[in-house]
Structure 1
Amino acid sequence: MALISLKSLGVTMSAPLFSNLDLTIAAGDRLGIVAANGRGKSTLLKCLTGELEATSGDITRSRGLRVGHVEQSVPDALLDRTFHQVVADALPPDQADSELWRVDVVLDSLDVPEPMRERAMRALSGGWQRLALIARAWVAEPDVLLLDEPTNHLDLAKIGQLENWLNALPREVPVIIASHDRAFLDATTDRTLFLRPEQSPAFSLPYSRAREALDEVDASTARKFERDMKVAQQLRRQAAKLNNIGINSGSDLLTVKTKQLNQRAEKLEEAAMPAHRERSAGAIRLANSGTHAKVLITLDDAEVETPDGTLLFRTGKRHICQGDRIVLLGRNGVGKSRFVTLLRNAVAKPESVRNVKVTPSTVLGYSDQALSGMSGDDTPLAMVTRRFDIGEQRARSLLAGAGVGIDMQARGIGLLSGGQKARLVMLALRLANPNFYLLDEPTNHLDIDGQEALEAELLAHQASCVLASHDRAFIRAVGNRFWLIEKRRLTEVDDPEDFFRAVAEWGN
C-alpha cells in the first residue's frame, strides 16, 4: 500500500527543477534521490512533508501519516538546547514525561556517549549535530523517514555506524535519502530516483547499478534521437526534390506527396527526444605545472603533533614522488589534518619544519575542508583578480565557467552555496598552477558530477597529491598509495578495503 503518491508533480523556480514526476512511496522502500547541487532534492523532500506546495501535480498521503524530516542545517532555535533536550523536545507533549525513556533508547542505538548528551548543540561538531537531528526525527516514531545529505560532516566511523543503524530499522518504515555519497547510497538504498527537469528516471537498483542502467538508457535515447533526425532530414530532402519536380511538371500529385513527406518529417522532429544533458553546475579543471624532480618531499621520521606539542605519530622514512596520489587513512583525531598542515608548512617555509625536505621546484595547491582560504566578505571577482595576474574580463569568464554567475561575482563569498564555494576553490587551485596538491576533504559540498569531474582531472593530469577524505568512492577512484595512521604510527597498506571493513565493525 502506498503511503505517499506523486502524480505529475512539478516544481518550477526560475526554471523547472523537476516535472511530470510520478512516484509512490510504500512500506519497505529504501529510495535514494540523486541530482546535481541546487536541482531539487531538498525541494522534493519538502514537498513530501507538505512544507512546500508543488507548482503542478498532486501529492496524496495516507491519513494521519507522520513524516520525519532531517534537514541539512540545524534550526537556530535548537542551538542552545542540549543534545538530549533537542531529541526529547520531539516527543508529543502528553508523552514528555512518561515516554522520556525513548530518548535514551534512540541515543543508545546511535552510540551517543553520556557526556555528549548534555552538551549544547552549538558546542557540538557538525557530525554530532547531524546525529542529534536524526535521533530527533526518529524518536517521534515517524511512518516515513526523510534524510537530506545525512553523511555531511560525518567521519567514516560514523558513516558506517549510520549505515548499520539505517539497515536495522523496521522494514515497514520507508527511508528516503537525498545524498551525494555514492558508497553510502549503495549501502542503504535499493531504489534510485534521478531527479531531472523533464523526465526523472527511477530504477529498482542501488545507486551504482542504477547509474549504469541510466547511462544505457541515455545512450539509447541519444542513438534513437540521431536516427530519427537523420530520417527526418532524408524526408525533407526527398520532399525538396519532389517539390522541384512538381513545380517543373505542374503535377498536383507530387505537390501532395511533398506535403505528406514534410508532415512526416515534422512529426518525427516533434516526437524525437534528445538525450538528457545535465545543465553544468560549473566546470572543474585542474592543472599540473610539472617538475623534473622525481621525489617531491622526503620525510625522515618527522613528528606530527597537536598545536600544544603532544605527539600524534611519527612518519618513519617516507618519500612523496611525482604521480603519487596518497590517501591518508585513519579515524578522526589520529592526526590526518595535522599531517596535511605539516606538509603545507614545509612547502611554504622549508626551513621551519624538522625532518621534512621539500624539492625547491614544488608548487603547492592547497584546499582544506573548511574552505578557509576564502573570506565571506570578499567577492569572487575581487579574490580571483587580486590573487592571480588576470584581468577582470578573463576573471569573469573563468568564474562563470566554474559556476559562479555574473550576478554572484560581485557579491560576498558568504552568499554562495556550498557547491559554488567548492568550485571557486577548485578554480583557485587551477590558477595557482601547482605540481603538488594537498586536499583535505575535497569532495565536501561537491555533487556527484563534481566528484567525478575532480576524479577525472586528478587522473588526467597525473597530479601528485596527498589527500584526506571520508568519501569511499572518491578514495577508491583516485588513490594509488595508502598511508594508514593508527596507534601513533604511519604505515603503508596495499589498499583501503581492510580499513573500510574495520570502520564498519567499529560502527556495529
Structure 2
Amino acid sequence: MSLISAKDLSLTRSETLFAGLDLSISKGDRLGLVAANGRGKSSLLRILAGEEDATSGTVVRARGLVAALAPQDPPEHLLPLSFYDAVRDALAAEVAETESWRVDILLDDLGVPEELRGRTVGELSGGWQRTMLLARAAVIEPDLLLLDEPTNHLDIGRIGALERFLAGLPRDCAVIAASHDRAFLDDTSTRTLFLRPAESEDFSLPYSRALEALEERDAARDRQFRNDMRKVKALRQQAAKLKNIGINSGSDLLVVKTKQLSERADKLEESARPAHHEGTSGAIRLTNSGTHAKALVAIGDTAITTPDGRLLFRTGKLWIGNGDRIALLGANGTGKTRMVDRVRSALAGEDPDIRGAASLKLGYSDQALSQLAAFATPWDAVKRSDKLTDHQARAQLAVAGIDIDAQNAPLARLSGGQRARLAMLLLRLARPNFYLLDEPTNHLDIDGQTMLEGELIEHGAACLLVSHDRTFVSSVATRVWVISGRRLIEVDDPAPVFERLIAE
C-alpha cells in the first residue's frame, strides 16, 4: 500500500531542479535521496511533507497519513526553548498535556544526556540540534519520516546511534533520507533515488550498488545515443546522394525516397537522448607546493589537555612525513579538535614538543569554516588571499561554483556547499604543502567529497585530518591515529575502529 505517491512532479526555480518525477513510497520503505547541492532534495522533502508546492504534478497521500520532516536547521522560534521543550512543542497541546512521557522515552532512546535536555536550543552544538530536530519529527510517531542531511555535524558515535534508532523504528514506518554520507546511505537504505532535472532514477538498492547500476545504465544510454547519431548521419548521407541522383535523372521515385530517408533521420535524431551527466556544484582543486623535508611535523611525547588543564591523552613520539595523509579518529570528546588546534598553534609559534620543518607551509580549515569570518564577500576573500587580476579572481570563483551575482554578496548569503568550496579555493591559493583539516567534508555533496579525495591523493598532499566520513577516511588516509585509553596509537586499518566507534 502506498503511503504517498507523486506523479509527473516538477519544480522550477531559476532553473528546472527536477521534472517528470514519479515516486511511490510504501510502508517500511527506506529510501536514500541523492543529488548535488542545490538540486532540489530539500525542496522535494518539503513538498512530500506538505510544506511546499511543486511547480506542477500531483501528490496523493494515504488517508490520515502522518508525515514528519526533520530539516537541516532549527527554526528561530525554537532557539530560546530548552532541548526538552523544543521536542515537546512538536506534540499537539492535548497530547503534550497527558503524554509528555513520550519525550522522555524518545530522548533516552536517542542517548541524550540529562544535562543537555535543559539547555536552550541556541546553545546546542550543530550535532545536538540535529538530534533535537530528529526527536521533534519522531515524537509524533509518523508513518513517513523525512530526514534532511541527518548526519551533518554528527560524530561517528552519534551516527551509530542514529542508525540504530532508525533500525528500531516500527516496521511500517517509511523513511526518506537526503544525505551526502555514503556509508550512512549504504547502512540504512534499501532504495536509492538519484534526483535529476529530467529522468530521475530509482533503484531498489542501497547507495553504492545503486550507483554502479546507474553508471551502467548511463553508459548503455551513451552507447545507444552514439549508435543512433551514427545512423542519423548515414541516413542523411544516403538521402543527399539520392537527392543528387534524383535531380539529375528527374526521378520522382528517388525524390520520394529521399524525403522518406530525411524523415527517418529527423525522427531518430529527435528521439535520441544522451545519458544525463550531472553538472558540478563547483570544482574543488588543491595543490601541493612541495618540500624536500622528509619529516614535516615532529611531535614529542606531549599532553593534549582541555582548556582547564585536564588530561585528554598523551601523543607519544610521532612524526608526519612528506605525503602522509593521517586520519585522527576517536570518540566524541576525546580531544581530536584539541589535537588539531594544538598542532596549528605550534606551527604558528613556539612549542617545545611540536615542531614543523622550516619549509612547511600550512593550509588550515576547521569544521565551522571560521577562516572565512575575516572576509566580507567571496570577492574580498579571493582578492586578499592572492595577487589575482579581477578577471582571474572572478574566473576562480566561478569555477568554485560561486556565480557572478554571489561574488560580491555577503558571505552569509552563500549556501553551506558554496562556503565549503570557497574555503577549499582559499586553501589552494595559499599553496600549502601541509593541510590541517577538521571535518572537511561537512556541507560538501558527494561530488565535492570525491573531488576532494581525488585532489588530496593526486597531489600527494601531506595532511592531518579529522573526519566522521567513513568513506572519505577509507579512501584518503595512508595512516590512521586513534585516541584510545588516553593514548594516541597508530593502527593499520580504520574499519575496526569505525565498527567500535559506531557501536558505542
- TM-score, length-scaled by structure 2: 0.98
Count of aligned positions: 504
Query: What SS is found at the alignment partner of 1:136?
Result: helix
1:141 corresponds to: 141
Q: Cα deviation per residue 1:415-443 (whole Å; 9 max; x = unaligned)?
A: 10000000001111111111111111000
Whether 1:502 and 2:481 are equivalent positions in the alignment is no
Contact persistence 2:312–2:486 (CA under 8 A): yes
- Residue 444 of structure 1 aligns with an amino acid whose one-letter code is N
2:59 corresponds to: 59
RMSD (Å), alpha carbons: 1.2
- The Cα shift of 1:313 comes to 2.0
Q: Within 5 Å, which residues of 2 pair with 1:107-146?
A: 107-146=107-146
Q: Cα deviation per residue 1:443-465 (whole Å; 9 max; x = unaligned)?
A: 00000000011111111111111
Query: Partners in 2 of 1:403 and 1:321 — Cα distance?
Result: 33
Query: What SS is found at the alignment partner of 1:97?
Result: helix
Contact persistence 1:7–1:21 (CA under 8 A): yes
Q: Cα deviation per residue 1:332-382 (whole Å; 9 max; x = unaligned)?
A: 221111211222223223xx1122221111111111111011127611111
Query: Partners in 2 of 1:248 and 1:344 — Cα distance?
Result: 82
Query: What SS is found at the alignment partner of 1:332?
Result: coil
Judged with a 3 Å threshold, the aligned counterparts in structure 2 of structure 1 residues 464 and 44 are, in CA distance, closer, same or farther, namely: same
2:441 corresponds to: 443
2:487 corresponds to: 489
2:367 corresponds to: 369
Whether 1:453 and 2:451 are equivalent positions in the alignment is yes
Query: What SS is found at the alignment partner of 2:334?
Result: coil
1:41 corresponds to: 41
Stretch of structure 1 that moved more, 160-169 or 111-120: 111-120
Q: Within 5 Å, which residues of 2 pair with 1:134-173?
A: 134-173=134-173
Taking every aligned residue pair, what percent have the same amino acid on both sides?
58
1:11 corresponds to: 11
1:359 corresponds to: 357
1:411 corresponds to: 409
- The Cα shift of 1:388 comes to 0.5
Query: What SS is found at the alignment partner of 1:163?
Result: helix
Stretch of structure 1 that moved more, 466-475 or 129-138: 129-138
- The Cα shift of 1:321 comes to 0.7
Query: What SS is found at the alignment partner of 1:279?
Result: coil
Query: Partners in 2 of 1:308 and 1:242 — Cα distance?
Result: 90
Whether 1:186 and 2:197 are equivalent positions in the alignment is no
1:224 corresponds to: 224
Query: What SS is found at the alignment partner of 1:59?
Result: strand
Judged with a 3 Å threshold, the aligned counterparts in structure 2 of structure 1 residues 376 and 223 are, in CA distance, closer, same or farther, namely: farther
- The Cα shift of 1:486 comes to 2.0
- The Cα shift of 1:195 comes to 0.2
Query: Partners in 1 of 2:89 and 2:341 — Cα distance?
Result: 41
- The Cα shift of 1:295 comes to 1.5
Query: Partners in 2 of 1:48 and 1:401 — Cα distance?
Result: 33
Contact persistence 1:33–1:41 (CA under 8 A): yes
Contact persistence 1:376–1:415 (CA under 8 A): no
- The Cα shift of 1:79 comes to 0.9
- Residue 442 of structure 2 aligns with an amino acid whose one-letter code is N
In structure 2, the gaps of 5 or more residues are none
- The Cα shift of 1:267 comes to 1.0
Contact persistence 1:376–1:413 (CA under 8 A): no
- TM-score, length-scaled by structure 1: 0.97
Stretch of structure 1 that moved more, 333-342 or 204-213: 333-342
Contact persistence 1:302–1:354 (CA under 8 A): no
Query: What SS is found at the alignment partner of 1:313?
Result: strand
Query: Partners in 2 of 1:504 and 1:454 — Cα distance?
Result: 24
- The Cα shift of 1:239 comes to 1.4
Stretch of structure 1 that moved more, 376-385 or 334-343: 376-385
Contact persistence 2:330–2:501 (CA under 8 A): no
Query: What SS is found at the alignment partner of 2:372?
Result: coil
Contact persistence 1:300–1:355 (CA under 8 A): yes
Contact persistence 1:365–1:436 (CA under 8 A): yes
Contact persistence 1:296–1:362 (CA under 8 A): yes
Query: Partners in 1 of 2:374 and 2:418 — Cα distance?
Result: 13
In structure 1, the gaps of 5 or more residues are none
Query: Partners in 2 of 1:248 and 1:353 — Cα distance?
Result: 91
Query: What SS is found at the alignment partner of 2:323?
Result: coil
Which residue of 460, 463, 478 corresponds with 1:462? 460
Q: Within 5 Å, which residues of 2 pair with 1:62-461?
A: 62-349=62-349, 352-375=350-373, 378-461=376-459
Query: Partners in 2 of 1:323 and 1:302 — Cα distance?
Result: 23
Contact persistence 2:31–2:191 (CA under 8 A): yes
- Residue 72 of structure 1 aligns with an amino acid whose one-letter code is Q
Query: Partners in 2 of 1:114 and 1:425 — Cα distance?
Result: 36
Stretch of structure 1 that moved more, 199-208 or 107-116: 107-116
Contact persistence 1:84–1:117 (CA under 8 A): yes
- The Cα shift of 1:193 comes to 0.3
Query: Partners in 2 of 1:150 and 1:197 — Cα distance?
Result: 24
Contact persistence 1:377–1:414 (CA under 8 A): no
Query: Partners in 1 of 2:199 and 2:491 — Cα distance?
Result: 45
Stretch of structure 1 that moved more, 366-375 or 109-118: 109-118
Stretch of structure 1 that moved more, 156-165 or 106-115: 106-115
Query: Partners in 2 of 1:304 and 1:139 — Cα distance?
Result: 40
- Residue 462 of structure 2 aligns with an amino acid whose one-letter code is S
